[in-house]
Structure 1
Amino acid sequence: MTQTVFAPWDDPSKKPLIRFDCVTKRFGDFVAIDDLSLDIFEQEFFALLGPSGCGKTTMMRMLAGFEAPTEGKIELAGQDIAPVPPNKRAVNMMFQSYALFPHLSVYENIAFGLRRGDMPKNDIDDRVGEMLKLTRLEKFARRKPHQISGGQRQRVALARSLAKAPKLLLLDEPLGALDAKLRQATQFELMDIQEKTGTTFVIVTHDQEEAMTVASRVAVMDEGRVIQVATPERIYEAPNSVYVADFIGDVNIIKGTAKPSGSDRYEILHTDGQPPFSAVSETSFSEGQTCHLAIRPEKVSISADRTADADNAVQGKVLDIAYLGNLSTYYVELPGGQVIKAQTANTRRVSRRGFTWEDSVWLSWTATAGVLLAE
């Protein structure tokens, strides 16, 4: 049985759940969101990713109803949501601080919003029971927030947010308060819960690894604009700009000028007196155009001798070595002074490192390993 791939953004007949249409948000003279258009589809786990101050939280606050757009409109399920007050929107927001009531039990925290909505008591019991089961908190129903761990408090906040079955759940840096290991485990729990409920999740984060792990698509933002929206794989393997390549993961950026050398093939002239690098690109560059070759360190091989059939091979000197347990990253200085990172997997538990500081080494990579970018 073939599994259907979830990609409503590739289907022209699918209508988005959320549509930002030419939205601008100003605070006085400051433009927080700059003429932004974006579609988010039902059942997506969508990540807004970017550095502090890029506008991602402002977007979320507009969706929640705490801010109104200065220009443009935001639609939820085809309806302009500007006139709809926050408490009447089919949207819930889970805050970074979790905002749990300390004097109420886990059960009462989850039931709080349902009681305010005049739900019959039996239905409240059933719904809270469902939420406790979904977030694996049944055993902790009678405890107060201070009697459970940070990860459990995070799940209570999630259960409370989902109890009213919102169309859309907004998560503002939801895992910021958790330690690294718990964060990782919770990311998978979030994905699992999102899949089971079918709720559309929009998460705001500055943690690229988190966005890449949980999201069906990621919007990389900078200064109030969306620079690229794509699946995590596309963002990593085919960034559309130096900014995105540099923001996501580790990357080498080699600046040069392009010279066409055949169908989709280019030579990149980078350092006086050094042979050009070879790259393949679907984007066309004119002769002499400034370009940037972005190559991930894991796509650069390091060896003692020149690889005979490599598209690109360059000799350099090992400046630094970062041992990261599962990986070693070698910082290699090229003749022109540029430093290139090459990564190798440490597959054996105890292995003698092949190269050490000051060693002369060869770096090589294929013509298709890098992405050629204009800016």
Structure 2
Amino acid sequence: MAASTKFAPWEDPGARPMIRFENVTKRFGSFVAIDNLSLDIYEREFFALLGPSGCGKTTMMRMLAGFENPSEGNIELDGADIVDVPPNKRAVNMMFQSYALFPHLSVHDNIAFGLKREGMAKDKISARVAEMLRLTRLEKFASRKPHQISGGQRQRVALARSLAKAPKLLLLDEPLGALDKKLREETQFELMDIQEKTGTTFVIVTHDQEEAMTVASRVAVMDAGVLKQVATPSQIYENPNSRYVADFIGDVTILEGRARKEGNRYELAWADGQPPIVAQSALEIGPGDTCYYAIRPEKVEIHHDKPEDDNVLQGKVIDIGYLGNISTYHVQLANGQTIRAQNFNTERSTQQAFTWDDTVWVNWTDRCGILLAN
């Protein structure tokens, strides 16, 4: 079997984006929702717009759908400017958080609704609906009404209806927000599978970091109408470009200090009476410049005895979070700073390896954290 090729059109200088935001600004009165934003999204991407409430991600989606127009700038779909194209004339469909299913129609007729409105022939409608039912594994529920199926199944009906018209682009506005955690996690993988099978470009709006990191080929982290970083989930997590991104994605400890270069490493002076943090970094930091050091808890080891290594700090366990597969220890250092460390619970035991008020040592290697300029 031939090895699968890497999907990364954003790394190809010759690749033409399917969606292009070019210097787009959107104002509502004096409020700037989107601020001079430029972004390229490629065909067959599962692209996530991620950020807190009010960051502008839904406004971007509404502009793609045609429900809002930019105050300035251009939006292109397949090389054509779509700013003046009405929503019903765009090769775009939108799936809302509420699903907006017709309660009096069966699953089959909900999926067929848009095709009937377009005047498609009956035999073609039947074939297309049957294809969508198979794709979303809803064949057995075709004759049921929305209130007779589960929340996850209603979500799949809405998805099937959105895909029935074979849009070039499908917009998903918090599509899993109404589902419980376990069903949401299962449905994330179903969405990925359906997106891959259809080849449709998906753009999802979410404030759920885990959801974005799970489903997306790339993630755009937004704040106050500005793109803070656009990259793959692993790049966003392991190489955030700022404190904002590091803090927004996952769990992290951030230390502030001043770094000086020692060979191929930096030493960060960050607290009186504490040894310097040692870090490898390609970042250019001037002598005496303030910088920041971000370290994820799964990179930090915790010990009863002092290890012989870089970045060894002593503290006291002040809090413990037990999640079954992992335990997170909040370790307070002598200067009051708290660092989080994680242990995988690889053996079946109800006893924690460390407990409250234990004096412990934490450490990590010089490659585990990242230096940030801002």
**Helix, strand or coil: the match of 2:111?**
helix
CA distance in 1, matches of 2:209, 2:65: 23
User: Equivalent residue for 2:19?
Assistant: 18
CA distance in 2, matches of 1:121, 1:86: 25
CA-atom RMSD, angstroms? 0.7
User: Equivalent residue for 1:335?
Assistant: 334
**Helix, strand or coil: the match of 2:316?**
strand
**Helix, strand or coil: the match of 2:132?**
helix
**Helix, strand or coil: the match of 1:355?**
coil
CA distance in 2, matches of 1:41, 1:274: 48
Matches within 5 A, 1:1-375: 1-263=2-264, 265-308=265-308, 310-350=309-349, 352-375=351-374
Question: Sequence identity, in percent?
Answer: 72
Q: In structure 1, give the amino acid aligned to 2:42.
A: F
CA shift at 1:353, angstroms? 2.1
CA distance in 2, matches of 1:355, 1:58: 47
CA distance in 2, matches of 1:364, 1:275: 12
CA distance in 2, matches of 1:58, 1:64: 10
Q: Deviations over 1:236-270 (max 9, x none)?
A: 0000000000000000111111111112x110001
Q: Deviations over 1:132-174 (max 9, x none)?
A: 0000011111111111111110000000000000000000000
Q: Deviations over 1:333-371 (max 9, x none)?
A: 111110000000011111532221111111100011001
**Helix, strand or coil: the match of 1:361?**
strand
Gaps in structure 2 of 5+ consecutive residues: none
Output the TM-score relative to the length of structure 1. Answer: 0.98
CA distance in 2, matches of 1:33, 1:102: 36
**Helix, strand or coil: the match of 2:105?**
coil
CA shift at 1:2, angstroms? 2.2
**Helix, strand or coil: the match of 1:244?**
helix
**Helix, strand or coil: the match of 1:53?**
coil
Which stretch shows the higher mean deviation, 314-323 or 201-210?
A: 314-323
**Helix, strand or coil: the match of 1:186?**
helix
Q: Deviations over 1:162-214 (max 9, x none)?
A: 00000000000000000111101100000000000000000000000000000
CA shift at 1:273, angstroms? 2.2
CA distance in 1, matches of 2:39, 2:348: 47
CA shift at 1:305, angstroms? 1.2
CA distance in 1, matches of 2:253, 2:228: 20
CA distance in 1, matches of 2:186, 2:357: 40
CA distance in 2, matches of 1:277, 1:139: 60
CA distance in 2, matches of 1:333, 1:82: 54
CA distance in 2, matches of 1:126, 1:351: 55
Give the length in aligned residue pairs.
Answer: 373
CA shift at 1:13, angstroms? 1.0
- 4+ runs of 1 displaced by more than 4 Å? none
Q: In structure 2, give the amino acid aligned to 1:306.
A: K
**Helix, strand or coil: the match of 2:317?**
strand
CA distance in 1, matches of 2:272, 2:214: 41
Q: In structure 1, give the amino acid aligned to 2:319.
A: D
**Helix, strand or coil: the match of 1:331?**
strand
CA shift at 1:111, angstroms? 0.5
CA distance in 2, matches of 1:152, 1:357: 45
CA distance in 2, matches of 1:68, 1:354: 57
Which stretch shows the higher mean deviation, 351-360 or 280-289?
A: 351-360
Q: Deviations over 1:38-97 (max 9, x none)?
A: 000000000000000000000000000000000000000000001111000000000000
Q: Deviations over 1:112-147 (max 9, x none)?
A: 100111111100000000000000011111111111
CA distance in 2, matches of 1:38, 1:23: 9
CA distance in 2, matches of 1:199, 1:47: 14
Q: In structure 1, give the amino acid aligned to 2:209.
A: Q
Q: Deviations over 1:3-42 (max 9, x none)?
A: 2110000011110000000000000000000000000000
